A = this chain, B = another copy of it.
Amino acid sequence: MTDETQRPHRTRRDSGNVTLQDIAAHAGVSRSTVSLVLRESPLVAKRTREQVRRSIKALGYVYNRGAAALRATRTSTLGVVVYDIANPFFGAMVAGIDAALNREGYVSFLANSEDSPERQQRFLERMREHRVDGILLCPAEGTDPALVATLEAWKLPCVQVLRHIGTPPYDYAGTDFRQGVGLAIDHLVARGHERIAFIGGHTEHSATRERWQGYREAISRHGLGYQRLLRSTVTRRDGFEAIQQLLGESPPPTAVVCHNDLVAFGAMLGLQRQGLTPGVDCAVIGTDDVEEAALSAPALTSIATHPYAVGREAARLALRRIQTPDGAREQVVLAPQLRVRESCGASLAHDRPLAATP
């Protein structure tokens, strides 16, 4: 007797799932050929390819990416770590990432670290277990700089986004916060301001440092005698309180640049609470240019940091790194833009001058 009779009949598989084997049988070719068709290999003859395609449709086959990944060691997945997904800035960034990945057939795991290095660490370990092809990381505050080296040792390509830790070279996508603050101050100085304060940022991560550096450099570049940097966390309430503190000092600033738009909104509220008008009695400039900036009253002048574009660039970088793991590390730093609106006196200044014009 042949061994055919011994092994159970196998045209329809034991489990309900249709596999390459089933398609191969249906199309009268081998497993390998079907696999080649699925991967669009040019090796397969046209007639065969078409026949296999027909069988795939006929049997309602669903590609099993997990099984493929096991052998091929590519999963077409990416891990994305942000520290505050509820912040609309990150929402826009994730949208940019999603759009870029989608085009390449990649999907992404998303995690919200809530700025906790421990949560972040747990997630990264889980990503390793899932064998993601790479990581997009907005490092949580207080992340050990050694993490970048750890990921390197894990052979997990990692692109840092917005904040960066560790020492170059690393892959990074972000915005030039330093330049952004510089732009804002140049604009204010051109409008005659001489006492410009900066509000916000409470911990030493790169995105804060860069803003402060931009502030200090611009102040000294313009030879201004006044310099005032007020640390704080970066909520609306912080802006609200900070501006009132600054107004109580003598001399008070005539303009403030804020860590982000939330702080700026708070600062505007604080001015209004004191019976003052933003853009008239004190200029206010925010950072990020969130949707609400254009629609607040008065409209907020803001340094646009392009979250969608940052996300898209970060995703591109990651895909490139996955293709060439040993290529030179890259840093994509987008140029910010100043969106001038009412809150820095743009269209109100003629009514009541903010400061002596040059």
Chain A residues within 8 Å of B, Cβ to Cβ: 62-67, 69-70, 75, 77, 80, 85-88, 90-92, 94-95, 98-99, 102, 105, 107-112, 114, 119, 122-123, 126-131, 236-237, 265-266, 269, 272, 291-292, 295, 297, 308
Contact = CB atoms under 8 A, between A and B. Distances in A.
A269 B292 contact: no
A162 to B, nearest CB: 16
Q: How many copies does the complex hold?
A: 2
Contacts of A112: 94-95, 98-99
Given A269-B297, A297-B272, A102 B119 contact: yes
Contacts of A122: 102
Contacts of A126: 105, 107
Contact of A66 (B66, B111, B127): B66
Among A105, A110, A269, the one with the most B-chain Cβ atoms within 10 Å of its Cβ is A110
Contacts of A85: 91, 94-95, 98
Given A107-B111, A123-B107, A129 B63 contact: yes
5 contacts: A62-B128, A66-B69, A86-B308, A94-B112, A98-B111
B269 A62 contact: no
Nearest to A295: B236
A110 B90 CA distance: 13
A297 B266 CA distance: 11
B269 A64 contact: no
Nearest to A87: B91
A110 B130 contact: no
Contacts of A75: 66
Give 10 nearest A-B pairs by CB, closest first. Answer: A110-B110, A86-B91, A86-B92, A98-B112, A65-B129, A88-B88, A63-B129, A91-B91, A85-B91, A107-B109
